């Protein structure tokens, strides 16, 4: 069949799968995974040129945008680097022993499996999916939250371990040119920052994003004998401090989301299972819950709050696409059979399906079982503790991004210290505090904050976060309070967002796209009248 017809088929089936998943309140990526298995069952085992290219682009763009947001110093925290090492060693042993145990149950595929093979499979299952975890965090608007930074930090550490493994496994061929890498990074960073400062907002800006991720990053790292995906991540980190990095992140998001559709679809195309392969994959799926539970216990032992540990663990309770790479290496070395590619692809897909459903209700589940979950809290000060005393403030602004800062500055100009702002991005809060702004770090989507905070003086709460998911989550948490004596207002972009916020109990919803023209006209007329008075 012509490759163009193949591409047309997978795009159509993927769209239909994603649409149907959304119609039954499931994340679209579940529909993409199912669409891949449907295509495989129908005999379309090859997705065509566009699918292969789009899947590769999607993963690299994802890592590039992660790098733009990543605070590299956070990787030095024990709850990230040490927790990653402990978790991966423990899970490698647990899953390796599980595989050995299953081999004694009489399953033909596992009969006579060697301990070395079991450990390789266990190692592959110890990784969590960067693509899946970051996508779920983005869907909830929590990439820059405390638990979002924790999750991404763990994933980056896992990627570093992956590079080390691939290097020793022979997948990555290091060269003598690797010694020149530090010099290259200094030079390319200087060039990229200069370009970023002098490019307009049009198509060149988009092309710059692709150039930085694929040419300066992925292709160059491949030349140095390193993992191409790591190159895209490093380029994002190098230019993440630039004042236009947030604009670039937002600009590249649409392209990343489209290309990632191909990645999830490609997983389903990896193979159609036999009954024994399906049974093994389902057994591995049960143990993904153990993996998430171990993450949660580990985080709380590092003095993190149970809620932070809960949300981060849900994002990490899955298997990784890296498992497929490990399986491929094991197959090339003759250590495992080709059927493990199908088993791991199935386990990966199943973990995505379960993980997507759990992540969609992460806050609801915590609210429902918070007494049981918070029993894991250690009796000590936590680095993610939130303040409860808001002082004499009567106006609370939730979200200190571009919209929130404008709201805060306007209110502060009228009411002074009666206005207080909060945000769950620690870097944003530290910058505003250094400018003597009345702000604090906190997670407005946390029901515990609203339950413990002294809200007696608060008259109005402004939900001014840049994404709808965060505003909606905060509104839902406030709606659970027994005595709400303050008014809640929120921003929105679209009609369906307006309806959702109103149904959740928000008193006033401001659609800034609808009001933009009216505000422009009002401000311009005011300016014109003031100019006429000055002329008189």
β-bridge mates for residue 59, sequence order: none
Separation between Cα atoms, residue 94 and residue 86, nearest integer Å = 12
Among residues 376, 407, 441, the one where a domain terminates is 376
**pLDDT reported for residue 384:** 87
Separation between Cα atoms, residue 403 and residue 511, nearest integer Å = 12
**pLDDT reported for residue 47:** 56
Q: List Cα–Cα distances, 16 to 32, 109, 350, 514, 534, in angstroms.
A: 9, 35, 20, 31, 61
For the record, the structure tokens of 308 come out as 């932070």
Domain interval for residue 505? 395-535
**pLDDT reported for residue 299:** 95
Same domain flag for 369 and 400: no
Q: How far is CA 152 from the centre of its chain?
A: 7
Separation between Cα atoms, residue 103 and residue 162, nearest integer Å = 27
Query: Within 10 Å of residue 72's Cβ, how many Cβ atoms?
Result: 14
Contact 450, 474 (CB under 8 A): no
Separation between Cα atoms, residue 500 and residue 492, nearest integer Å = 10
Rounded to 10 deg, the angle between the 146-169 and 48-69 helix axes is 120
Separation between Cα atoms, residue 411 and residue 405, nearest integer Å = 10
Among residues 310, 343, 376, the one where a domain terminates is 376
Separation between Cα atoms, residue 352 and residue 66, nearest integer Å = 20
Separation between Cα atoms, residue 520 and residue 205, nearest integer Å = 27
Same domain flag for 194 and 277: yes
Q: Give me the helices (H) in 273-401, please.
A: 275-301, 306-316, 322-332, 339-360, 362-373
Which among 448, 441, 444 is positioned nearest to 469, based on CA atoms? Answer: 444
**pLDDT reported for residue 23:** 82
Separation between Cα atoms, residue 312 and residue 146, nearest integer Å = 9
- Any domain includes 385: no
Which among 435, 390, 465, 461 is positioned nearest to 145, based on CA atoms? Answer: 465
Q: Does the CA dihedral 388-394-498-516 come out positive or negative?
A: negative
Same domain flag for 315 and 452: no
**pLDDT reported for residue 534:** 60
Phi-psi region of 533 (alpha: psi -120 to 50; beta: other; left: phi over 0): alpha
Separation between Cα atoms, residue 340 and residue 325, nearest integer Å = 11
Query: Within 10 Å of residue 51's Cβ, how many Cβ atoms?
Result: 25
Question: Which residues have C-beta within 8 Å of that of residue 123, sequence separation ≥ 6?
Answer: 88, 92, 95, 96, 165, 326
- Any domain includes 325: yes
Same domain flag for 412 and 491: yes
Separation between Cα atoms, residue 439 and residue 437, nearest integer Å = 6
**pLDDT reported for residue 328:** 66
Same domain flag for 184 and 94: yes
- Any domain includes 12: no
Is 327 in a helix, a strand, or coil?
helix
- Any domain includes 245: yes
Output the tens digit of pLDDT for each of the chain's 536 residues.
566 677 778 788 888 988 888 787 676 777 887 888 788 777 776 655 667 777 778 878 877 887 887 777 777 888 999 999 999 999 999 998 888 887 776 655 565 677 888 888 899 899 998 878 888 888 888 888 889 989 989 988 887 787 677 656 655 566 677 788 889 999 999 999 999 998 888 788 889 999 999 999 988 888 887 778 788 888 998 998 888 888 888 888 777 777 777 777 777 676 666 777 888 888 889 899 999 999 999 999 999 999 999 999 999 999 987 777 677 666 666 777 767 777 887 888 889 888 888 888 898 899 999 999 999 998 888 888 888 889 889 999 999 988 899 999 999 999 998 999 999 888 889 889 998 899 999 999 999 999 999 998 999 999 998 888 889 999 999 999 988 899 999 998 888 899 999 999 999 998 877 777 778 787 778 777 777 656 55
Same domain flag for 348 and 401: no
**pLDDT reported for residue 535:** 57
Among residues 346, 376, 406, the one where a domain terminates is 376
Which DSSP string do the residues of 409-459 spell out, in sequence order?
A: HHHHHHHGGGEEEEES-HHHHHHHHHTT--EEE--TT-HHHHHHSB-TT--
CATH number of the domain within which 292 lies: 1.20.1530.20
Contact 254, 82 (CB under 8 A): no
Same domain flag for 347 and 400: no
The per-type count for the chain, helices as H runs and strands as E runs, is: 23, 6
Same domain flag for 80 and 194: yes
**24-27, Cβ contacts within 8 angstroms, sequence gap of 24 or more:** 25/360, 26/356, 26/357, 26/360, 27/136, 27/139, 27/356, 27/357, 27/359, 27/360
Same domain flag for 417 and 531: yes
Same domain flag for 198 and 275: yes
- Any domain includes 483: yes
Same domain flag for 92 and 193: yes
Contact 390, 453 (CB under 8 A): yes
- Any domain includes 386: no
For the record, the structure tokens of 25 come out as 């309140």
Same domain flag for 336 and 479: no
- Any domain includes 383: no
Separation between Cα atoms, residue 335 and residue 326, nearest integer Å = 11
Which DSSP string do the residues of 195-216 spell out, in sequence order?
A: HHHH--SSHHHHHHHHIIIIII
Is 49 in a helix, a strand, or coil?
helix
Q: Report which secondary-structure segment, H or E, holds 249.
A: helix 245-268
CATH number of the domain within which 485 lies: 3.40.50.720
- Any domain includes 38: no
Count of domains in the chain? 2
């Amino acid at each position: 069949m012509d490759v163009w017809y193949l591409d047309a088929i997978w795009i159509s089936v993927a769209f239909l799968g994603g649409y149907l998943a959304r119609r039954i309140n499931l994340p679209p990526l579940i529909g993409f995974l199912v669409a891949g298995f449907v295509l495989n069952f129908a005999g379309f085992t090859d997705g065509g040129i566009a699918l292969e290219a789009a899947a590769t682009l999607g993963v690299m763009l994802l890592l590039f945008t992660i790098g733009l947001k990543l605070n590299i110093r956070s990787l030095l925290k024990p709850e990230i680097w040490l927790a990653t090492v402990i978790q991966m060693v423990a899970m490698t042993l647990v899953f390796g022993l599980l595989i050995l145990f299953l081999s004694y149950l009489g399953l033909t595929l596992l009969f006579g499996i060697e301990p070395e093979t079991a450990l390789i499979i266990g190692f592959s299952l110890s990784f969590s999916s960067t693509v899946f975890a970051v996508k779920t965090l983005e869907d909830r608007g929590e990439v820059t939250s405390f638990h979002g930074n924790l999750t991404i930090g763990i994933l980056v550490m896992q990627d570093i371990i992956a590079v080390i493994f691939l290097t020793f496994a022979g997948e990555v061929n290091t060269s003598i040119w690797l010694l020149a890498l530090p010099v290259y990074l200094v030079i390319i960073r200087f060039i990229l920052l200069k370009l970023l400062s002098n490019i307009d907002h049009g198509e060149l800006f988009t092309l710059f994003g692709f150039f930085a991720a694929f040419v300066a990053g992925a292709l160059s790292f491949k030349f140095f004998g390193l993992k191409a995906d790591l190159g895209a991540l490093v380029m994002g980190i190098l230019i993440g401090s630039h004042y236009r990095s947030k604009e670039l992140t937002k600009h590249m998001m649409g392209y990343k989301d489209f290309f990632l559709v191909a990645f999830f679809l490609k997983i389903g195309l990896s193979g159609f299972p036999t009954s024994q392969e399906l049974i093994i994959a389902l057994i591995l799926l049960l143990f993904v819950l153990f993996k998430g539970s171990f993450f949660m216990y580990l985080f709380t032992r590092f003095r993190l709050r149970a809620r932070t540990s809960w949300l981060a663990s849900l994002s990490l309770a899955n298997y990784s696409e890296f498992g497929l790479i490990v399986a491929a290496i094991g197959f090339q070395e003759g250590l495992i059979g080709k059927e493990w590619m199908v088993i791991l692809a199935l386990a990966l897909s199943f973990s995505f399906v379960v993980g997507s459903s759990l992540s969609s209700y992460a806050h609801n589940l915590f609210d429902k079982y918070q007494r049981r979950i918070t029993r894991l809290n250690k009796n000590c000060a936590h680095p993610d503790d939130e303040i409860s005393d808001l002082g004499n403030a009567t106006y609370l602004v939730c979200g200190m991004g571009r919209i929130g800062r404008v709201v805060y500055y306007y209110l502060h100009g009228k009411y002074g210290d009666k206005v207080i702002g909060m945000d769950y991005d620690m870097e944003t809060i530290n910058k505003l505090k250094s400018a003597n702004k009345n702000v604090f770090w906190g997670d407005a989507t946390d029901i515990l904050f609203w339950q413990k905070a002294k809200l007696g003086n608060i008259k109005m709460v402004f939900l001014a976060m840049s994404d709808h998911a965060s505003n909606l989550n905060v509104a839902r948490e406030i709606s659970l309070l027994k005595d709400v004596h303050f008014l809640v207002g929120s921003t929105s972009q679209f009609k369906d967002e307006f309806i959702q916020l109103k149904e959740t109990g928000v008193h006033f919803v401001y659609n800034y796209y609808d009001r933009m023209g009216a505000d422009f006209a009002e401000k311009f007329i005011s300016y014109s009248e003031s100019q006429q008075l000055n002329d008189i």
